[in-house]
């Protein structure tokens, strides 16, 4: 795994987030054993594999939507289509739909 770029590692993790769930920039960083949360966000922004590598499923640690290259309205539309409830720019029942990667 060390021969792949940081962005490629992020994109691989994006593919693992199940439909109907979200994760955070911090959870991805934690899985990669780094505190480079902004770099995770940058990788999401540069993601060439969307929607297969589902950057729309990545949100802020407090459940707020965060950024999305296609705009927040598009992010909301996609998340709602996947069954995620969104209100006032945040995920409803955030803890219930939060996906955490196995950190073993």
State the chain's maximal CA–CA distance in angstroms: 41
The dihedral over CA atoms of 83, 91, 40, 42, expressed in degrees to the nearest 10, equals 90
Query: Is 44 tagged catalytic?
Result: no
Active-site residue identified among 13, 55, 65, 97: 55
The verdict on whether omega for the bond into residue 51 sits within 30 degrees of 0, i.e. cis, is yes
| Other CB atoms within 10 Å distance of the CB of residue 72 | 13
Residues in a beta bridge with 24: 59
Cite the active site residues.
55
């Amino acid at each position: 795994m060390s021969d792949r770029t940081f962005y490629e590692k992020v994109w691989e993790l994006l593919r693992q987030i199940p439909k109907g769930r979200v994760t955070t920039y911090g959870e991805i960083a934690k899985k990669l054993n780094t505190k480079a949360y902004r770099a995770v966000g940058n990788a999401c922004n540069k993601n060439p594999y969307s929607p297969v590598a589902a950057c729309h499923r990545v949100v802020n640690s407090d459940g707020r939507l965060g950024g999305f290259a296609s705009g927040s309205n598009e992010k909301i539309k996609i998340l709602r289509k996947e069954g995620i409830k969104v209100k006032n720019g945040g995920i409803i029942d955030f803890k219930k739909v939060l996906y955490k990667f196995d950190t073993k």
